[in-house]
């Protein structure tokens, strides 16, 4: 797919790459860090593929200087990372841990010295275990603990950060964590998932208010929005798609932008719906400055009751997608289309759905600055005998999705930036180290980093944009792809 990016991306468009604390840092027992629910989950046999944990991960805690160097060579404007709550507040309460502060201050210093703007996420799933022990996100108290934590953190690091993301993908925290059991803490309990859904949003709203009270920084939230297509025109399939989209998108966008949960979803969940207090929805819908959108793949959904007919049409069940989630709610099932290209995760590649999704958000809610805070693919990469990693499928994926973003911008969607997931190969949650999403290959036994072909491609793509008034010495000659 051809991209003529020089003409389609605004001059001040932000080019970035993203990571998250538990997925890259390692050093789980260092610097006074407390346990997180992901330490516990990953150490529980059978929860993570191959028994992998984030204990060492990419050892970014010790190698962050080298990683910032690689960012500089890549030429990104901005780095999205997350701050580990258990590193900053080991027990989820009380004063901030000085060693944690030192680590993130050093990272911010290093980014600043390379003129890379920090774009930190305040919560990317590593909840302190002590809060997990008290009910985690099923407990309303966790929302207050988060607001208190954010208040302290913004006081400490705030002057150096111009934009904060409160939560990463609360859908995953609530639904994969509490309904499907695929993520920490591993529950399969619908009322717990609905309580978590509400308390995460409440935590977000309280955090927005805390940040506004003490700083002029911009604040937003990152959602993993779904593009859902019914498998057929059959009313049962269409209804399944509506509920799936409601669960993934409207359960978050409606309270955030309209101050109400969607009526059809409330009716569907009935008695399982979370308890709320008066005023909660007002807090949740506190105005935000931008919306972060993570996007990977489209969803095709049918009704479980029609599975035989759908299979006769050539669909097969998408076993990689939250298998028992929708079954407990809407009798919906995720399907894969015959003959569609998929990534190693089994996720279908259809970039145009990203453009449509961005149109839908603007048309159904409001025009708001949007950052694509994650987009990328896992691939069966390997290091060749000459030391190079060739990943043409990833280059095509990124090119296709950048084209989709450019199309959205051309049709008036206010997209301000794009972050590749991920800078580095890393710990892919329940799939451990089996999925490589990085622009940079990581040799886990040694920690050695090798930029892949897609890294050089992205570097050249960024460099080909209308030159920004920046001087960070990035030239195409700085690094060259081994022959
Ligand atoms: C997203 C997560 C991110 C990463 C990618 C592949 O859901 O936010 O941490 O695992 O998927």
Q: What is the pLDDT of residue 368?
A: 98
Would you call the peptide bond into 422 cis, given omega within 30 degrees of 0 as the criterion?
Answer: yes
> Mean pLDDT throughout 52-61?
98
Please name the residues in contact with 438: beta carbons below 8 A apart, sequence gap of 6 or more.
422, 423, 424, 425, 426, 452
The residue written with tokens 């046999």 in the block is 45
Atom of ligand 1 nearest to the CA of 437: 6
Residue 169 annotated as catalytic: yes
Pocket test for ligand 1, best of 171, 177, 419, 428 (most atoms within 8 A of CB): 428
Could you give the 3-state DSSP secondary structure of residue 297? coil
Helix (H) or strand (E) holding 449: strand 448-451
Alpha helices in 233-327 (DSSP H): 235-245, 251-258, 263-269, 280-284, 307-312
Asked whether the predicted pLDDT for residue 329 surpasses 70, the reply is no
For residue 428, the CA-to-ligand 1 centroid distance in Å is 7
Beta bridge partners of 450: 441
Question: pLDDT band at 157, cuts 50/70/90?
Answer: very high
User: Could you give the domains of the chain?
Assistant: 5-228+257-294+347-481 (3.20.20.80)
Please state the length of the chain: 483
**Which tens digits make up the pLDDT trace of 209-243?**
999 999 999 999 999 999 999 999 999 999 999 99
Separation between Cα atoms, residue 212 and residue 111, nearest integer Å: 24
Asked whether the predicted pLDDT for residue 322 surpasses 70, the reply is no
Question: pLDDT band at 476, cuts 50/70/90?
Answer: very low
The residue written with tokens 């290091």 in the block is 383
Q: What is the pLDDT of residue 465?
A: 87
Global confidence as pTM: 0.95
Asked whether 255 and 201 are in contact (CB, 8 A), the reply is: yes
How many helices (H) does the chain have, and how many strands (E)? 18, 14
Pocket test for ligand 1, best of 173, 346, 374 (most atoms within 8 A of CB): 374
**Which tens digits make up the pLDDT trace of 347-375?**
999 999 999 999 999 999 999 999 999 99
Pocket test for ligand 1, best of 165, 169, 343 (most atoms within 8 A of CB): 169
Please tell me which residue, 4 or 151, carries the higher pLDDT value: 151
Q: What is the pLDDT of residue 466?
A: 58
Please tell me which residue, 252 or 327, carries the higher pLDDT value: 252
Question: pLDDT band at 331, cuts 50/70/90?
Answer: confident
For residue 267, the CA-to-ligand 1 centroid distance in Å is 30
Q: What is the pLDDT of residue 6?
A: 39
Could you give the 3-state DSSP secondary structure of residue 12? coil
Asked whether 184 and 40 are in contact (CB, 8 A), the reply is: yes
For residue 330, the CA-to-ligand 1 centroid distance in Å is 25
Question: pLDDT band at 143, cuts 50/70/90?
Answer: very high
> Mean pLDDT throughout 146-169?
97
Asked whether 297 and 347 are in contact (CB, 8 A), the reply is: yes
DSSP 331-372: -EEEEE-TT--B-TT--B--THHHHHHHHHHHHHS----EEE
Residue 356 annotated as catalytic: no
- Burial of 238 per CB tally in 10 Å (0-12, 13-18, 19+): middle
For residue 226, the CA-to-ligand 1 centroid distance in Å is 14
Instruction: Out of 255-259, 265-269, 439-443, pick the least confident.
Output: 265-269
Q: What is the pLDDT of residue 340?
A: 87
Separation between Cα atoms, residue 257 and residue 107, nearest integer Å: 34
> Mean pLDDT throughout 98-122?
98
Asked whether 345 and 378 are in contact (CB, 8 A), the reply is: yes
Asked whether the predicted pLDDT for residue 478 surpasses 70, the reply is no
Q: What is the pLDDT of residue 326?
A: 53
Q: Taking CB atoms and a 6 Å cutoff, what residues make up the pocket around ligand 1?
A: 20, 23, 168-169, 172, 224, 294, 374, 421, 428-429, 437
Asked whether the predicted pLDDT for residue 470 surpasses 80, the reply is no
Mean model confidence pLDDT for the chain: 93
Asked whether 357 and 415 are in contact (CB, 8 A), the reply is: no
Question: pLDDT band at 1, cuts 50/70/90?
Answer: very low
Instruction: Out of 2-16, 43-57, 151-165, 264-278, pick the least confident.
Output: 2-16
For residue 236, the CA-to-ligand 1 centroid distance in Å is 30
Which of 374, 399, 407, 428 is catalytic? The answer is 374
Asked whether the predicted pLDDT for residue 467 surpasses 60, the reply is no
Atom of ligand 1 nearest to the CA of 376: 6
Which of 169, 350, 399, 407 is catalytic? The answer is 169
Please name the residues in contact with 48: beta carbons below 8 A apart, sequence gap of 6 or more.
41, 42, 429, 430, 431, 432
């Amino acid at each position: 797919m051809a991209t003529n990016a020089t003409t389609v991306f605004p001059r001040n468009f932000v080019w970035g790459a993203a990571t998250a604390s538990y997925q890259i840092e390692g050093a789980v027992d260092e610097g006074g860090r407390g346990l997180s629910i992901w330490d516990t989950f990953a150490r529980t046999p059978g929860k993570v593929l191959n028994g992998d944990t984030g204990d060492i991960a990419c050892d970014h805690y010790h190698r962050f200087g080298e990683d910032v160097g690689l960012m500089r060579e890549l030429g990104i404007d901005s780095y999205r990372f997350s701050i580990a709550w258990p590193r900053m507040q080991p027990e989820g309460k009380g004063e901030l841990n000085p060693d944690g502060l030192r680590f993130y201050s050093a990272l911010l210093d290093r980014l600043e010295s390379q003129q890379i703007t920090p774009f930190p996420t305040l919560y990317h799933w590593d909840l302190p275990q002590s809060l997990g022990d008290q009910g985690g996100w099923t407990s309303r108290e966790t929302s207050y603990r988060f607001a208190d934590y954010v208040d302290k953190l913004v006081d400490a690091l705030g002057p150096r950060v111009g934009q904060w993301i409160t939560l990463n993908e609360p859908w995953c925290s609530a639904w994969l964590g509490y309904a499907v059991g695929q993520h920490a803490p591993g529950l399969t309990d619908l009322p717990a998932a609905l309580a978590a859904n509400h308390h995460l949003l409440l935590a977000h709203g309280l955090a927005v208010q805390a940040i506004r009270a003490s700083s002029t920084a911009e604040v937003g939230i990152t959602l993993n929005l779904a593009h859902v297509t019914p498998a057929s025109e059959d009313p049962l399939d269409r209804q399944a798609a509506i509920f799936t989209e409601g669960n993934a998108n409207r359960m978050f966008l409606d309270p955030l932008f309209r101050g109400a949960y969607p009526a059809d979803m409330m009716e569907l969940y009935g008695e399982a719906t979370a308890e709320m207090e008066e005023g909660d929805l007002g807090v949740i819908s506190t105005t935000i400055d931008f919306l972060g959108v993570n996007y990977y793949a489209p969803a095709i959904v049918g009704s479980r009751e029609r599975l035989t007919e759908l299979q006769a049409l050539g669909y097969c069940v998408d076993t990689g997608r939250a298998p028992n989630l929708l079954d407990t709610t809407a009798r919906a099932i995720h399907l894969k289309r015959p003959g569609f290209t998929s990534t190693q995760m089994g996720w279908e590649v259809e970039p145009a759905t990203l453009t449509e999704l961005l149109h839908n958000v603007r048309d159904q809610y409001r025009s708001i600055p949007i950052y694509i805070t994650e987009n990328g693919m896992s691939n069966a990469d390997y290091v060749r005998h000459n030391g190079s990693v060739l990943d043409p499928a990833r280059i095509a994926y990124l090119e296709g999705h950048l084209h989709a973003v450019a199309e959205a911008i051309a049709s008036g969607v206010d997209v301000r930036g794009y972050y590749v997931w991920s800078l580095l190969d890393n710990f892919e949650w329940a799939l451990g180290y089996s999925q490589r999403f990085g622009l940079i290959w990581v040799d886990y036994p040694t920690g050695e980093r090798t930029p892949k072909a897609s890294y050089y491609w992205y570097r050249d793509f960024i460099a080909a944009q209308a030159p920004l008034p920046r001087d960070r010495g990035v030239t195409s000659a700085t690094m060259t792809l081994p022959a």
